Amino acid sequence: MAIANVGIIGSGAMGLGITHVCAQAGCNVVTVKATPGSWEKAKATLDRNLGKLVERGKMEAADKEAILGRVTFSTDERAVADCDLVIESVIEDLETKKDLFRRLESICRPNALLTTNTSTLSVTAMMAVCKQRDRVAGLHFFNPAPVMKLVEIIHAFETSDDTIQSLDAFCRHIGKDPVLVQDTTGFIVNRLLTPYMLNAIRMLERGTGTIESIDQAMKLGAAHPMGPFQLADYIGLDVVEAMAHNIFADVRHEHHAPPHTLTRLVQLGYLGMKTGKGFYDWSQKPAVQNPQLVRPVV
Ligand code: 3HC
């Protein structure tokens, strides 16, 4: 099935990034703000993100306008009724996502594909609340979605081969390199990346190195664009902690349990770049390691 009209539910960083990618590839996109309030701020954020690319000479001003012209914002989920594909990117809460899938099933056309951008929740659990399950799958993008080439296509218990083929063609059409993954907690990337970041935090707690030295070592020694602490701050420490909880709840291995320092930072509201402080103090240019973490938080 050719996918020309895409519905995105959720207008946070991921929802807007996916909106950008799909509209840039020529799809008509309906982006629904899932939480109360107007969509004006989401539209302004997309406009600003695209504007930065124009300022830096990465995009023509006319292309920016064409992209914005293909996006319709709404606060009404029913706006996705005519979409060929819906990608939900709402809060990482299974009950919220299950309720959304129940509603999408009655809103969308019978041949529309219904997908989730969840990081670590069960796609099969979302599928289970649907009557027509063969069209349900995971479509997991990475942050920043306009830059990261990978999309994990998640095959849940009753996803049909036709659905997988359509999603594979769609990902290639929007310029991504998809990988097919069976529905297991954390899929491939987060299942490997989460314990990696958690182990870096434990390394800090043991005093093996500092935030900066561990990051520097992984950037220069493993050719990662960001070290584990910079990456955790970039993803959001609340998100990293939630991923740890979800994976730990499934595998019950202590490697996946959130370390003390992570839990304390989240409790204190230090969530990384989005709040200005996490493992680093991002208000400084360049960012410096959070002075409160020179000693482990106990
Ligand atoms: N939108 C569009 N383009 C963007 C962008 C954005 N939000 N952010 C950066 N870019 C582009 C820039 O224009 C630039 O393009 P160019 O190569 O054509 O010049 C390029 O990306 C590099 O950007 P910068 O020069 O500004 O900055 P960096 O070189 O420091 O790169 C980064 C920034 C791309 C974020 C890089 O540091 C990186 O790849 N970091 C790792 C990101 C990562 O691992 N993400 C996965 C997180 S896990 C996840 O998302 C899963 C989820 O479930 C939690």
Characterize 212-242 residue by residue with b for buried, 16 or more Cβ atoms within 10 angstroms of its Cβ, and e for exposed: bebbebbeeeeeeeebbbbbbbbbbbbbbbb
For residue range 76-125, what is the model confidence (pLDDT) as tens digits?
999 999 999 999 999 999 999 999 999 999 999 999 999 999 999 999 99
Q: What angle do CA 197, 248, 120 make, to 5 degrees?
A: 75
Ligand 1 pocket check: which of 22, 53, 60, 147 to mutate, most ligand atoms within 8 Å of Cβ? 147
Is 92 noted as a catalytic residue in this protein? no
Residues 6+ apart with CB under 8 A from 228: 196, 197, 200, 201, 214, 215, 218
Query: What per-residue confidence (pLDDT) applies to 296?
Result: 54
**Please, are residues 152 and 181 in contact by the beta-carbon 8 Å criterion?**
yes
Q: Identify whether 190 is a catalytic site residue.
A: yes
In terms of Cα–Cα distance, which of 159, 98, 89, 123 is closest to 246? 123
Task: With beta carbons less than 8 A apart as the criterion, state whether 122 and 151 touch.
Answer: no
140 is catalytic: yes
Cα of 143 vs centre of ligand 1, distance in Å, is: 7
pTM comes to 0.96
**Ligand 1 geometric centre to CA of 180 (Å):** 23
298 to 21, 197, 236, 260, 295: CA distances (angstroms): 42, 19, 21, 7, 9
For the residues 35-50, what does the mean pLDDT come to? 95
Q: Whose CA is nearest to atom 14 of ligand 1?
A: 147
Average pLDDT on 12-24 reads: 97
What is the rounded CA–CA span in Å between residue 295 and residue 277?
A: 16
Domains in the chain: ranges and CATH: 5-182 (3.40.50.720), 190-293 (1.10.1040.10)
| Residue 262: burial class (beta carbons within 10 Å; 0-12, 13-18, 19+) | buried
Question: Is the torsion defined by CA of 202, 206, 207, 209 positive or negative?
Answer: negative
pLDDT at 295: 62
| DSSP β-bridge partners for residue 71 | 29
Give the single-character DSSP code of 272.
B
pLDDT value, residue 292? 86
Ligand 1 center to residue 12 CA distance, Å? 16
Nearest CA to ligand 1 atom 49: 142
Q: Which DSSP category does 147 fall into?
A: T
pLDDT of residue 34: 95
